[in-house]
Amino acid sequence: MQATTATNIRSPKPVKNRATKVQTLRFYAQLGALALNVWIGVQFYLFVQYVRSGDAAQAISRPPGVEGWLPIGSLVSLRYWWESGILNEIHPSGAIILLVVLVSALLFRKAFCSWVCPVGFFSEILGDFADKTYRRRLRLPRWLDYPLRGIKYLLLAFFFWAILIQMTPESIKAFVYSDYNVVSDILMLRFFTDISTFSLAVIGGLFVLSLIIRGFWCRYLCPYGALVGLLGLLSPTRIKRNVKTCIDCTACAKVCPSFIKVDQIKSVNSDECTGCMACVDACPVDRTLEVKVGNLKSPVPVIRWAAVVLIFFWGTLAVAKFWGPWENSVSDQQYMERVHQADRGEYVHP
């Protein structure tokens, strides 16, 4: 009876305008990031065609943003930058992009995954389609879910071991300035343009699994997500639940793409939380789920927090692009020489 009375007093109503604004902003932020990456991909493809042909009439500049798709090489560059104080001129923007992603994780948890990452956006689209098709979310049992979630951490540990422990400072420098590293972006493109049957089957399998199990790649296999998730545990950003005003409607848990039981905890401190704010938007009782940052007494409005995330990420990259080291030092002629070597299969490994 008391619970009923309390519910009537609160008269909870979904804050539709706020929820619409935040999730609409997130959708267009993701769509914009996807469009930018598609544009970069098309421009880079045309650039590779130009250096292959050597025809000046087809001349087009190389988009440095393509280096954002080279996280392993960027981690090597980041280590070289840390140890030598030199931001290499082969793939400088890759190291900067990775650094911005890592700093954003320390500040805003895994917001990169739900506000910027094109793969995360595509994964969400597949998940939403599956939700509407099956009208329920399939979640693996805990005894299977936890071991599978460990795969991405094992992959991350392998890359850390190989790059941060196994490689010496001399081998790091040799890799950074190797011919292989110069054309690593071209080799990445060739993986997709000349994709093997096996690789196509793997991608197809991931596509199907993502339709069956929401966010399969992101939840179980992405080492990039594992890294930002671990760093996100150190973030001052937290979603807090007011137990006194919560009506136990479970709306927050139902919309969480990471299957976090938000309705059963006081503070969301999971490495799987992507900061999508869907749970806050879904809560029907005002000020029951709030975004708290550090020791600030007052909660941060969700729309303002989201704006800060986007301004920080894209603003920092814009500063680097226009005022910092962004373009690489490899000339078109050098690319022309090396792309033909790559086409002949001379760069199989570093």
Q: CB within 8 A of 218, min separation 6: which ones?
A: 113, 119, 120, 123, 225
- Chain segment 102-142, per-residue pLDDT in tens: 999 999 999 999 999 999 999 999 998 888 887 777 788 98
Q: What is the pLDDT of residue 296?
A: 86
Better pLDDT: 57 or 186: 186
Q: In the structure, what pLDDT confidence band is assigned to residue 297 with cuts at 50, 70 and 90?
A: confident
Instruction: Output the CA–CA distances (angstroms, integers) from residue 35 to 62, 178, 215, 334, in the order listed.
Output: 17, 32, 21, 29
Range of lowest pLDDT (97-106, 301-310, 328-337):
328-337
Q: In the structure, what pLDDT confidence band is assigned to residue 13 with cuts at 50, 70 and 90?
A: very low
Phi–psi pair at 162, nearest 5 degrees: -70, -40
Cα separation, 189 vs 194, whole angstroms: 8
Q: What is the pLDDT of residue 349?
A: 53
> Are the C-beta atoms of 295 and 286 separated by less than 8 Å?
no
| Max Cα–Cα distance, the chain, nearest Å | 80
Range of lowest pLDDT (20-24, 218-222, 259-263, 318-322):
20-24
